[in-house]
Amino acid sequence: MKCPVCNSQDSRVLDSRPIDDGASIKRRRECPVCGKRFTTYEVVDTVPIAVVKRDGRREFFDKHKLILGIERACQKRPVNAEEIAASIETELQNSIVTEISSKSIGEMVLTRLKEIDIVSYIRFASVYREFKDVDSFMNEIKSLSSKKSGALGGKK
């Protein structure tokens, strides 16, 4: 690592420690030429993921934008939007895709919300699936009820 003071191409690592829950490493270094101590940070270089919007536009995946969308649907509900967004970001980073549709991301959110909180699921689905009227809401609620009672072996 190049010294920021004398531009020497060599430095010695004095201390290394993980930060950000192990996502990064902080290294304390010393230049053998001028004796200056400095800190460097090492992070994994990730490939940016492009999100293809409904109208065909592309923009980079933005976890904070996803959190805001989830928080709107989960307002006053027992749901951790940051946790959901982080799990989706991790899943995307661990996959080999460099491009994903906004529709696929929406489905990933719906899958997680369905497991956590049905009210938040319905709220998110109403915007994501663009419910036009009360019948759209009712159809979604009925499909949830029938799946739930079918899964439990109950009657509709």
pLDDT, tens digit, 9 for 90 and up, residues 64-112 = 999 999 999 899 999 999 999 999 998 998 888 899 999 999 999 999 9
Q: What does DSSP assign to residue 41?
A: E
Chain position carrying tokens 């004796």? 35
- Binned at pLDDT 50, 70 and 90, residue 8 comes out as very high
Indicate the pairing of strand 99-101 with strand 50-52. parallel
Q: How many Cα atoms within 13 Å fall on the side-chain side of residue 33? A: 11
Q: Are residues 17 and 88 in the same domain?
A: no
Q: Give the global pTM.
A: 0.65
7 occurs within a structural domain:
no
Phi, psi of 11, deg, nearest 5:
-155, 160
Q: Distance between CA atoms of 150 and 156, rounded to whole angstroms?
A: 8
Closest CA to 85 of 67, 99, 103: 67
Q: Are residues 57 and 127 in the same domain?
A: yes
Predicted pLDDT of residue 30: 96
pLDDT, tens only, 19-53: 877 778 999 999 999 999 999 999 887 788 999 99
Q: How many Cα atoms within 13 Å fall on the side-chain side of residue 147? A: 9
Closest CA to 72 of 120, 109, 104: 120
Cβ density class 75-96: b for 16+ within 10 Å, e for less: eebebebeebbeebbeebeeee
Q: Are residues 64 and 130 in the same domain?
A: yes
Structure tokens at 106: 């929406």
Closest CA to 113 of 73, 53, 75: 73
Predicted pLDDT of residue 147: 67
Q: Are residues 86 and 114 in the same domain?
A: yes
Q: Are residues 122 and 94 in the same domain?
A: yes
Please tell me the least confidently modeled range out of 70-74, 80-84, 123-127, 151-155.
151-155
Predicted pLDDT of residue 155: 42
Greater model confidence, 122 or 131: 122
DSSP H helices, the chain, are 63-73, 81-94, 102-116, 118-128, 134-152
Q: Is the pLDDT of residue 16 over 70?
A: yes
79 occurs within a structural domain:
yes
Q: Are residues 37 and 93 in the same domain?
A: no
Predicted pLDDT of residue 154: 42
For the chain, what is the radius of gyration of the CA atoms? 23
Predicted pLDDT of residue 134: 84
- Binned at pLDDT 50, 70 and 90, residue 59 comes out as very high
Domain assignment of residue 113, given as a range:
50-134
Q: Are residues 62 and 106 in the same domain?
A: yes
Q: Distance between CA atoms of 147 and 118, rounded to whole angstroms?
A: 13
Q: Are residues 81 and 33 in the same domain?
A: no
The total number of structural domains that make up the chain: 2
